[in-house]
Chains A and B, each alone.
Chain A
Amino acid sequence: MVKNNLSLMDNRFANNYVVRNVVGSLRLMLEDKATMVYFSYLVFVLFLGAFGPMLAPYPYDETLYVNGEILRSAPPSLAHPLGTNNIGQDIFSRLLYGARPTMITGLLGGSMIISIGMTVGVTAGYVGGRVDNTLMRITDVVYGVPLIPFAIVLVSLFGIGFVQSIVVIGLLLWRGNARVLRSQVLQIRERPFILASKAAGASRTRIVFKHVLPNIAPMAVLFFSLGIGFSILIQATLAFLGVTSPFIPSWGVMVRSAYNSGLMSQAWWWSLPPGLMIAFTVLATFMFGRSYENIAGQGNEEAFVQAG
């Protein structure tokens, strides 16, 4: 008996709620081949974000010379696998450097979106009444704001900058999260297991943190990854429109420079790689989120099958 209790104690640590859920569902997800591919790709981008600058053969802003001449718009070669741009910078190096700002954009934007969205949604859904009304009206107002024009206005107010452009995205895009999570909470809070725990005297905080949040977690993970994707996408748009710092060599800024130089179509080695990187990264976050949702959904279906 005593021995048993001890081993239970050990288990308890490994069985920590968050750890258990994350590890458990990740394992399930990676059984799917396609998800495995997306996941590996995201890990790869994260890796580039962390170590890309160290791997780059040249500093991103170094102008390269050949025989005293600036190496302008050189096509791919062995020395420069992706060629150079119109001011003689190595594109491959810039691409590697560009992973970091892109990754920061995604993570910062995504976290802002999910944290604001979740706070608003869960509070509105669980507290209800006047609080719910107020929060949802605010959400409606935010819904009415057109994203890109507003971002341009805000960025020009706060000053053009890399971080500003991300914050603006975070401040607007939480709206969808808030709505959907609220409706999830509305459903969950009427389910018998929540009522039973209320009946046992659980406080509001306890119910929200122990029962509500873990049960909307799959949805939240989906939204987090969608948020990452959207942030990257919109930040690239803003970069393209010129409302972010041009000195931070994100992929979006690269596409813009290529466009501005007027060499977009000739120097495909310049515009295409960052564009494709953006597209793949966004796609991978979306698909990854989807598959998490599927897994979580399957869990429920399993329960239904048993119920039937």
Chain B
Amino acid sequence: MTENAGPVLETQNLEKYFDQSTSIIDTLLRRENEKVQAVDGVSIALDSNESQGVIGESGCGKTTLLKTLMGLYQPTNGKILFKGNDTAEFGRKDWKEFRRNVQIIFQDPFDSLDPKLTIRETLEEPLKIHNISNVDERIVDILEQVELNPPEKYLDRFPRQMSGGELQRVSIARALILEPEVILADEPVSMLDVSTQASILNLLSELVDELDVSMFYISHDLSTVSYVCDRINVMYLGRIVESAPTSELLEDPQHPYSQALIDAVPIPDPKYNRGYTTLEGDVQNPVGIGDGCRFRDRCPDRMDVCEQTPKFIDVESDDDRKVACHLYYDHPQHTETAHTDEEQQEPEVSAQ
């Protein structure tokens, strides 16, 4: 594995499709199996010490994205690069290195820890796998770091004897005990009650800063994401539709979907007056959906050209932001001529 100054974890055009279960009749008739396009052409790069959020409604593929990143799913297409090395070419040793450096925190604290193991045994496991000595010391240290004090009190407890907040702290401890470089967090606070949410979020972002860890934080909840993340990617039906630094996204969302999301966040000021953008309709099923902007059924600004897949391009005024929407780039005058068979990679020529 070669070191590389670039992003720690990066995806290039990552795709993950699932087969729908096929019945015997389908197989006999050789019916084409429609694929669920859970993740479709996602390219994101996570720099070291950076926290990036991926936000989207449930079912938009964000959890699949995370599991694919984790190497739990085989990508259908595209690449995952860890420190510039393609995970598809990983050997045993590389995987071990990867497993030590990329850890995950799940959503449901009550199901994230093996109910049959004590907290000590849970925390011990990663250390044993990677042959790390001074196990006891490390466990005590990490429990102190996640503010489970005194650690001795928790060591021999079972998950069923602890509260959700405490359990999530243990999950965080387990993710951090190997001193990883990347943490993947899948809605780590969404199942906790609000007061606990705040303290866990605080803890997480503090630790991530302190320990120089990078983090992908996945959630449907804009307020938690913007609290923890430097940069936010908005995901809709398997695609990233906008990517921008947190503050810029919140102040000035570009993509109609991001606008709707941000409008939906309550603002604690009764006098504040804003134009409501309401989202109508439901999220489509990402099954066998063809070309075109995936948001077009719900988009208030829909145009004819939206039948084609929009490019994911830099926003003109600001090269730190990207958006995938036809509103944000010029098209040739006669869109009709250009409209067939355009691929995402080879978009209609524009911007003269």
Which chain A residues have a beta carbon within 8 Å of chain B's beta carbons?
4-5, 8, 11, 15, 17, 21, 191-203, 206, 210-211, 214-215, 217, 299-300, 302-304, 306-307
Can you list the 5 inter-chain pairs with the closest CB atoms, starting with the nearest? A201-B99, A192-B106, A200-B126, A214-B116, A307-B110
Which single member of A15, A193, A211, A306 contacts B160 (CB below 8 Å)? A306
Among A15, A196, A210, A300, the most chain B Cβ lie within 10 Å of the Cβ of A196
Residue of A21, A192, A200, A203 with most partner-chain B CB within 10 A: A200
Whether B125 and A215, one on each chain, are in contact in the complex, defined by CB atoms closer than 8 angstroms, is no
> Contacts A210-B125, A214-B116, A303-B115; is A196 near B174 (CB within 8 Å)?
yes
Additional A-B contacts beyond A200-B129, A215-B116, A304-B110 (18; CB < 8 A): A5-B136, A15-B118, A21-B116, A193-B111, A193-B115, A195-B70, A196-B106, A196-B174, A199-B70, A199-B103, A201-B95, A201-B126, A201-B129, A202-B129, A203-B129, A299-B160, A303-B159, A306-B164
Question: Chain A residue with minimal CB distance to B106?
Answer: A192
Chain B residues close to A by CB (< 8 Å): 67, 70, 72, 95-96, 99-100, 102-104, 106-108, 110-118, 120, 125-126, 129-130, 136, 152, 155-156, 159-160, 163-164, 171, 174-175, 178, 191
- Cβ contacts under 8 Å, A192 to chain B: 106-108, 111-112
Query: With the chains together, A162 CA to B130 CA distance in Å?
Result: 51
* Residue from the list A4, A195, A202, A303 in contact with B72, Cβ < 8 A: A195
Partner of A196, one of B104, B156, B159: B104
Task: Give the interface SS of chain A, mostly helix, strand, loop or mixed.
Answer: helix
B106 — which chain A residues lie within 8 A by C-beta?
A: 192, 195-196
Query: Do A199 and B163 touch across chains, with their CB atoms under 8 A apart?
Result: no
Task: Give the chain A neighbours of B95 by CB distance below 8 A.
Answer: 201
User: Which B residues are CB-close (under 8 A) to A195?
Assistant: 67, 70, 72, 104, 106
Residue of B nearest to A21 (CB): B116
Contact between chains at B96 and A201 (CB < 8 Å)? yes
Complex alpha-carbon distance, A261 and B219, angstroms: 77
Most buried by A among B126, B130, B178: B126
Residue ID in chain B nearest A201 by CB atoms:
B99
Contact B99 A215 (CB under 8 A): no
Chain B min CB distance to A277 (Å): 37
Instruction: Tell me, rounded to whole Å, the shortest Cβ–Cβ distance linking A26 to chain B.
Output: 15
